[in-house]
Structure 1
Amino acid sequence: MPINRAPFGEVVEAVREHTSLLLGTTISYSDDDWAHPTALIGWTRSHVATHLVEGALGMVRAIQGLHAGTPRRMYESEAARHRALELGSLDSGLELQIKLDTSASALQAELGALEGDDRLVTLRAGYHLSARHIPLARLGEVVLHHMDMESHFGPRDLSPEIALSLLAFQVVHIGDREDFPAHRLVADEGYEGTVGRQGDSVAEIRGPAADLLAWLARGIESPTLIRS
């Protein structure tokens, strides 16, 4: 299934813009704010921030390994990923803010060189994608985890083009997973995609791409969504 996405340069710039929006939210957090629970069960805002930091650094490792001809995954192991998450979540708010900023900047410097690069990258076990889609993967993480932090950021803060790109990416990423009910998603902006178990009767859900993205990726309901 093709990914209908915005031009590469627009995606890379959107990573920069949405990272800046995220940092604009987190700069005001006190240490108590960082300890606040998020929409992700068992994760505080500091866990989410650490996940974004480690994700950016892991993508840098994977990209540099690709260029060097020595493929590397984002994380050495699941145990190492978990350990880094728990340790990083203990950082102070200032430390988290600095790490978010510096890791994002390091990744941003690598993204432009991936335009047109169709080499397959394995970011972690079972997660493969073309190198040119890494910016879109990162954009999805930044956008969705900004929502997870339960800030004022939401679907309305996405442009239609970026929302469509992220929706199509999520549809491809979820694919025909057996643990996901079959749904046909029809975006007002002109995109259709199907996810979920093959062989199931397919329910249809219509609405703006941004709201479909929030529902598909996080189960967030919206009065703009229509089911049939």
Structure 2
Amino acid sequence: MTTPTHDAELVRTATEDLLSATVKLDPSAIAEPSHLPGWTRGHVLTHLARNADALVNVLAGKPMYASAEAREADIEHGATRNLDDQVDDVRTSASRLESAFASLGEEDWGRTVTLRNGVTDLASALPFRRWAEVELHHIDMGIGYRLEDLSGTFLDRELAGMARRFLGHPDISVALELRAEDGRTWRTGAPEAGAEGPLVVVGSTVALVGWLTGRTTGSGLSARGSLPALPAL
């Protein structure tokens, strides 16, 4: 059974896996490009650290970030630090978030919290959101962790979550039916399909998650027409 407490434990494990891989890097590798355009590995790690602190803010009823500009400035400022400082920052900020999660009782998990850009969610959803941040940015680091290394449990939940996120999104004009190779389906995109029905996109959960999260351009997927451009995350 999925619980936020269990998800918080998965966050801890994923963070340790990321840090264990990162500390093995040559110190100079921190300044090398990541898989994210315009970001080095230092940018990715700094973002992860500041995201942990931002979620602590959310749980305390504060704004996630002081502003969009402050968020970007913090990432740019921290990106040039050395490897040891980056690792320590991710570890200590993760510990602060872990303590914040551990302090929540059953009623706390059920309250609504406000994220960036006015997005709201239940506090109970935050551990999974953080788990996704750590897993996907581990891939973005370009240090050997791949989409194919993600667990089936994570892929299933991320796929369902991304389908919900894009359902009815104003920037997606076509109705989509995501179809995994085992026959499971998810609806997303425009809420109403035309006469031909939704555009059916077929592939493995790995390929579907890679496309939905912007980590691939749709490799490994098949559809009767061109895949639509998806909104940036």
Normalising TM by the smaller chain, what interval?
A: 0.7 to 0.9
Decide which moves more: 13-22 or 184-193.
184-193
TM-score of the aligned structures, taking structure 2 as reference length: 0.83
Mapped pair 1:165 → 2:157: yes
2:171 maps to which residue?
179
Give a deviation string over 1:86-126, Cα, whole Å, max 9, x none. Answer: 11112111100100111111112222426562221112123
Q: Note the 1:111-190 alignment, pairs <5 A.
A: 111-112=101-102, 113=104, 117-180=109-172, 181-188=174-181
SS at match of 2:115: strand
Tell me, yes or no, if the aligned pair for 1:164 and 1:191 is still in contact at 8 Å. no
Identity across matched positions, percent: 31
Change beyond 3 A, Cα 1:60–1:120:
same
Cα distance in structure 2, aligned partners of 1:54 and 1:21: 19
Mapped pair 1:204 → 2:205: no
TM-score of the aligned structures, taking structure 1 as reference length: 0.84
One-letter amino acid of the structure 2 residue matched with residue 52 of structure 1: L
1:11 maps to which residue?
7
Tell me, yes or no, if the aligned pair for 2:169 and 2:189 is still in contact at 8 Å. yes
2:71 maps to which residue?
81
Q: Quick one: which of 180, 192, 197 aligns to 2:185?
A: 192
Tell me, yes or no, if the aligned pair for 2:46 and 2:75 is still in contact at 8 Å. yes
How far 1:189 sits from its partner (Å)?
A: 6.0
How far 1:199 sits from its partner (Å)?
A: 4.5
Tell me, yes or no, if the aligned pair for 2:201 and 2:223 is still in contact at 8 Å. yes
One-letter amino acid of the structure 2 residue matched with residue 197 of structure 1: A
1:29 maps to which residue?
25
Change beyond 3 A, Cα 1:194–1:26:
same
SS at match of 1:121: strand
How far 1:33 sits from its partner (Å)?
A: 1.0
Change beyond 3 A, Cα 1:215–1:49:
same
How far 1:22 sits from its partner (Å)?
A: 0.9
Change beyond 3 A, Cα 1:205–1:54:
same
Decide which moves more: 116-125 or 80-89.
116-125
How far 1:183 sits from its partner (Å)?
A: 2.4
1:72 maps to which residue?
62
SS at match of 2:177: strand
One-letter amino acid of the structure 1 residue matched with residue 39 of structure 2: W
How far 1:150 sits from its partner (Å)?
A: 1.6
Tell me, yes or no, if the aligned pair for 1:189 and 1:209 is still in contact at 8 Å. no
Greater RCO between the two (CA within 8 Å, min separation 6)? Answer: 1
1:58 maps to which residue?
54
Give a deviation string over 1:188-217, Cα, whole Å, max 9, x none. Answer: 467532222344653222333233212210
Cα distance in structure 2, aligned partners of 1:115 and 1:164: 25
2:96 maps to which residue?
106
Change beyond 3 A, Cα 1:167–1:6:
farther
Decide which moves more: 73-82 or 22-31.
22-31
